[in-house]
Structure 1
Amino acid sequence: MKIVVISYHTFNSRRKAGFHFIAKELSSLGHEVFFITAGLSLLSKIKGDQRYKSAKTYRADLGFISHKESGVNFYSPIEVLHPVGIRVQFIEDIVNYLLVRKAPPAAVRAEILTADMIVVESCVGLVWLDFISENNDLEGKKIIYRVSDDLTFMGVNRLLTRSEYNLIKKDVFDIVSCPVDVIARKFDCLSDKVIVQQHGLDNYFYDIPWDNPYSSLSNRKNAVFVGISRFDSEVCNVLIENFPEVNFHFIGECVGIKGAPNSTVYGVLSFEETIKYIVHADIGLQTIRVSETDMFKYSLKVLQYSYAGLPIFGPECLDTKWGNFYGYKDRTVVEICRTFRSALGRSRDLSARHHVSTWKSLVQRWL
């Protein structure tokens, strides 16, 4: 079966997201997979988007390239302009009307029209599918919407939120797969195809006996943060200052961390390097800024920490109720320190592992 996967990400990026694993698992099951990056343009170059650099590295203008290890064919088309969020609505509407192209590039459209199945995440790919669906050209195809983000919260271009609404309302999708119930409740009134399906993991990588990256450090506990979204540097700086006996490691675009002997910011590491820091850590940090009802409760990093058996430290509203979460009620120094001290007293425990599913089991439910 020919499957087109439309993602925000570039397939060859160092940082791996869920859609990378979804594409690889579909390929491992014997399907011909085409991974297409959506939302790249010359504007991305001006903004310093890392995806643009990844795309140009593989000469995006040449079309699809086969990934030797996974067998996935990937393509990162670069357009003149793509939809970007503009705070003033009438200006955004004018820009969209005059400059933004809603139709996908010709090469992308051809792959979509010849696909048996399409999997799309919360990205510009929704605008492409909405445009194509106007002529009923998507009929007969199995289409999965794997909701990766709350688009309304993220402040994206309104073309994306309108297309998302249109596609769900018109029942274009066979499945609207949501990682958390908070998101699913937004769409329940629009379609009966909405279901909750947690993120997965490729457990194999976490069971490898990786070298310990902390082995050269003194015999102290190590806390790790992985990610880029809504990082709360203020809470982390409180921890660094009040727990000098703990080493803090930050992987990703973690801005605002004060320099200290017990803190290290690594930037974005490869997937394999990141896993080493997770499986050998003592505490997983879920220190992000959140609302009371947030879709990050079962984020990929929470699943990674849980599978590795780590106690997790973060805002109380993100407590998974799996028995391994230590949540602070507010961001006062006293509360942060009290909660982190409790997490420090918790040893590694694999009891939360049974809550973590695999990417393979997820995609098998779509086929």
Structure 2
Amino acid sequence: MILSSHAYLPTARKASVHFVAENWAAMGHRIHFATVGYSWLSAFKRSHRFHALRKQQNNRFTRYRENLHAGCYLPLIHGFSSSNALLRELGHQLMRRYGRHLPGFVVERIREADLVVIESGTPLAFVELVRRVNPSARMLYFCRDLLSSVGASDVLRNIERRHVGTFDAICVPSRRLGTLLPPGGKVVYVPQGVDGTAFDAADVSPYPAGSRNAVVAGDMLFDQSVILALSQAATEVTFHLFGVRWNGAAPGNVRLHGEQGFEVLAPYIRHADFGIAPYCYSDGNAYLAESSLKLLQYSYCGLPIIQPDTIATSRGNEVYYRASGESDWRGVVERALAVRHPFGGSEEIPSWRTVAERTLVSVFP
């Protein structure tokens, strides 16, 4: 049983929890994937995804492949985190109440589960409820991010501190992230993986012949000012943004593709001239150098990567810009375009099957 803030939908972007769930199902395990953190309030902020979830998974499980069913808990309102001072306390109160109840279709699967996976974020609100429903199940904290980095509420941070030592294992994609968690937990490092088969099969370019193209996959800690500066400095390059919400009018050479399934995204990454990881940096999110999925996907495809000098990696395909104030954006683009990047994959990056196996071993040694 997986409790996740991510939606399992054919049109939704894939996070690591999706790849792990699919590989567990392929290994023969029966998987139920429940999305939490949505309600009818989501119709105003995440309308497209809300309506897709309501149509396909409204308080029920739907079969998507052998051994894998996905459903969404959709109450009238849900607990949320907010940086708005006026909404923050309301969000705290709602989060406390939200975590006291799950619908029957989820509770039934928790009762019969051998393993309950709690992903970092809103799913933490249900830790105590899960323990009461099935005290014999093993529990895995699938921690992908530092809660402070993603703006999680104080309620969720307090739950993490109180329960970090009660999980059978805490699986992290970055050693640095593991050191930043509250003390007392059984932390196991399992690096992120790459779905090489999707990239290997994406042999037809979606780009016009002779064109120059850059890609951004995902909006985590997205710094719009970086893309704006790059697009203005290199008007001959088209910048393709996936899963990114843009504020205001986008420049003519910026294409907003919205949220797409991974099979749609894969050829755009493989055939791009370079990838971009425009992270807003703070001291707490340096762990992204190890855990960033987009950095691994770009690297698998051999792309040069434009990234801030505060997120330091050592794969040899980095093209850094000064996060404290870059003065030569044209030069940054020219350095990226000058890098040769034959496609061939990387043997150093594990497959998701390997990641799924190692994740399971962390809680069932």
TM superposition score category, shorter chain reference: 0.7 to 0.9
The aligned counterpart of 1:285 is: 276
The aligned counterpart of 1:26 is: 24
Of 294, 311, 316, 1:318 maps to 311
Of 167, 179, 183, 2:173 maps to 179
Cα distance in 1 for partners of 2:121, 2:230 equals 35
Of residues 253-262 and 14-23 in structure 1, the stretch that sits farther from structure 2 once superposed is 253-262
Q: Which amino acid aligns with 2:4?
A: S
The aligned counterpart of 1:296 is: 288
The aligned counterpart of 1:159 is: 155
**Preserved CA contact (<8 Å) 2:81 2:92:** no
The aligned counterpart of 1:10 is: 7
Compared CA separation, residues 324 and 93, structure 1 to 2 (3 A): closer
The aligned counterpart of 2:69 is: 73
Compared CA separation, residues 224 and 47, structure 1 to 2 (3 A): closer
Of 16, 37, 40, 2:38 maps to 40
The alignment partner of 1:326 has SS state of strand
**Preserved CA contact (<8 Å) 2:149 2:284:** no
The aligned counterpart of 1:338 is: 331
Compared CA separation, residues 79 and 355, structure 1 to 2 (3 A): same
Provide Cα deviations, 1:182-237, integer angstroms capped at 9, x if missing partner: 3211236222x1122222122111111432111x24x1332111112222222222
Find out whether 1:234 has 2:225 as its counterpart: yes
**Preserved CA contact (<8 Å) 2:32 2:70:** yes
**Preserved CA contact (<8 Å) 1:199 1:300:** yes
- TM-superposed CA distance for 1:154, in Å, is 2.5
Counting aligned pairs with the same residue, the percent is 25
Provide Cα deviations, 1:58-87, integer angstroms capped at 9, x if missing partner: 1514x22211x4541111121233211254
Structure 1 residues not aligned, in runs of 5+: none
Cα distance in 2 for partners of 1:57, 1:102 equals 25
**Preserved CA contact (<8 Å) 2:276 2:306:** yes
Cα distance in 1 for partners of 2:152, 2:18 equals 22
Cα distance in 2 for partners of 1:257, 1:93 equals 30
Alignment TM-score, normalising by the size of structure 2: 0.88
The alignment partner of 2:320 has SS state of strand
Provide Cα deviations, 1:151-191, integer angstroms capped at 9, x if missing partner: 2232323332222222213x2x2211112233211236222
The aligned counterpart of 2:240 is: 249
Counterparts of 1:94-133 in structure 2, within 5 Å, are 94-95=93-94, 100-133=98-131
Compared CA separation, residues 337 and 40, structure 1 to 2 (3 A): same
The aligned counterpart of 2:51 is: 53
Q: Which amino acid aligns with 2:323?
A: D
- TM-superposed CA distance for 1:49, in Å, is 4.5
The aligned counterpart of 1:168 is: 164
**Preserved CA contact (<8 Å) 1:82 1:101:** no
Cα distance in 2 for partners of 1:59, 1:207 equals 31
Cα distance in 2 for partners of 1:308, 1:257 equals 31
Q: Which amino acid aligns with 1:162?
A: N
**Preserved CA contact (<8 Å) 1:330 1:336:** no
Structure 2 residues not aligned, in runs of 5+: none
Cα distance in 2 for partners of 1:25, 1:265 equals 30
- TM-superposed CA distance for 1:36, in Å, is 0.7
Q: Which amino acid aligns with 2:23?
A: E
Cα distance in 2 for partners of 1:201, 1:64 equals 27
**Preserved CA contact (<8 Å) 1:188 1:194:** no
- TM-superposed CA distance for 1:39, in Å, is 1.6
Q: Which amino acid aligns with 1:163?
A: I
Alignment TM-score, normalising by the size of structure 1: 0.87
The alignment partner of 1:125 has SS state of helix
